[in-house]
Amino acid sequence: MTSILGSSKVGLGLAETQYSIRVVKEFSFRGAARRYSNRYHFDGSAVGDSTAMNTFMDGVVLAEKAIHPVSATIVECNVYAPGSDVAIGTKTYATVGTLVITGGSQAPGECAVIVRLATTKKSSKNHPVFCFSYYHQAFFNTASGLADTLLASQKTANEAYADSWKNGLSIGGRTYVRTTPDGHLTTGRLVSGFIGHRDFPR
């Protein structure tokens, strides 16, 4: 199995051919505000002019806020051209998550929901390549006491969001499908039933 962390180019030396969007979130971690982000590559050409780009970013934020609790805020989006880490479009937000947490307790801040999307790409050893996304503020069922099992409602919400990228986000008259950085389409998704972990840079 070959992974692409957050649909980035980490460790694989991929030739980036696709446009991408980065969504930045903020939540309280160890008594201070902490930001992290997820980057999604998508099929097709450039988004368009500044109006189209703002519509696209707004649409992604509208879809993604459904997987985050009210204690998380989406604060920024950036759009990138292939092969560049200089944003061609940026917009700030103060969009609070809308996922209602009932009967859940939050795991430590480094813990995360793990989403894996299969792709049409194969590695040099003919292994499938996956796109991964990690979302902090994972919750478990308080009553069960199983602190490593993801809260069912949070799992369902993440499955729906992953499906929307896999099947295509319809925004402003265009459908955006998630890909690898080099353009291979996503074909399936799995949200782990267990809570994962991703360290923050120190």
Pairing status of strand 169-171 against strand 111-122: unpaired
Q: Please enumerate in sequence order all residues whose Cβ is within 8 A of that of 120, keeping only pairs 6 or more positions apart, or say none.
A: 184, 185, 187
Domain spans in the chain, listed from the N-terminal domain onward = 2-197
Whole-prediction pTM value? 0.92
Pairing status of strand 73-80 against strand 20-29: antiparallel
Q: What is the pLDDT of residues 42-101, one digit of tens each?
A: 999 999 999 999 999 999 999 999 999 999 999 999 999 999 999 999 999 999 999 999
Q: Is the dihedral of CA 125, 189, 197, 142 positive or negative?
A: negative
What is the structure's pLDDT at 201? Answer: 77
Are the C-beta atoms of residues 79 and 54 closer than 8 Å to each other? no
What is the structure's pLDDT at 14? Answer: 66
What is the structure's pLDDT at 136? Answer: 98
pLDDT tens-place values along the chain, 202 residues long: 434 444 443 334 568 999 999 999 999 999 999 999 999 999 999 999 999 999 999 999 999 999 999 999 999 999 999 999 999 999 999 999 999 999 999 999 999 999 999 999 999 999 999 999 999 999 999 999 999 999 999 999 999 999 999 999 999 999 999 999 999 999 999 999 999 999 987 6
Are the C-beta atoms of residues 135 and 38 closer than 8 Å to each other? yes
